Amino acid sequence: MNTQFFDDPEKVAAYEQGPRWFIPAYEASHDMAAVLLHEFVPPTAEILVVGAGGGIELAALAKAGPGWRFTGIDPAKPMLAMAEGRLAAMGAADRLTLIQGFVADAPAGPFDAATCFLTLHFVADDGSRLALLEDVRRRLKPGAPFLLINGCLDKTSPRFGRDMARYSAFARFKGAPAEMASMAAATVAEQIHLLPPARDEALLAEAGFHSVEPFYRGLWVHGWLAHA
The answer as to whether 96 is a domain residue is yes
* Predicted model pTM: 0.92
Q: What is the CA 27 to chain-centroid distance, rounded?
A: 13
Does residue 98 contact residue 74 with C-beta atoms inside 8 Å? yes
The answer as to whether 156 is a domain residue is no
> What percent of the chain lies above the pLDDT cut of 90?
87
Task: Indicate which CATH number applies to the domain containing 13.
Answer: 3.40.50.150
Q: In what order do the strands lie in the sheet with 221-227?
A: 96-100, 69-74, 46-50, 113-117, 145-151, 221-227, 210-218
**pLDDT tens per residue across span 103-119:** 999 999 999 999 999 99
The answer as to whether 26 is a domain residue is yes
- Per-residue pLDDT band for 1 (boundaries 50, 70, 90) equals low
Burial 179-189 (b: 16+ CB within 10 A, else e): ebbeebbeebb
The answer as to whether 178 is a domain residue is no
Q: DSSP labels for 107-145?
A: ----BSEEEEES-GGGS-TTTHHHHHHHHHHHTB-TT-E
The answer as to whether 176 is a domain residue is no
Instruction: Show the domain range for 131.
Output: 4-151+194-227
DSSP classification of residue 195? B
The answer as to whether 172 is a domain residue is no
Distance, in Å, from the CA atom of 103 to the CA atom of 173, rounded to the nearest integer, reads 36
The answer as to whether 159 is a domain residue is no
The SS3 call for residue 14 is helix
Number of domains the chain is built from? 1
Does residue 50 contact residue 136 with C-beta atoms inside 8 Å? yes
Q: How many secondary structure helices (H) and strands (E) does the chain include?
A: 9, 7
Of the candidates 208, 63, 190, 193, the residue with the CA atom closest to the CA atom of residue 119: 193
CA distances from 123 to 30, 61, 131, 133, 194 (A): 22, 24, 10, 11, 9
The answer as to whether 36 is a domain residue is yes
Does residue 224 contact residue 151 with C-beta atoms inside 8 Å? no
Least confident span in 6-15, 99-108, 148-157, 161-170 = 6-15
Q: What is the arithmetic mean of pLDDT over 171-193?
A: 92
The SS3 call for residue 211 is strand
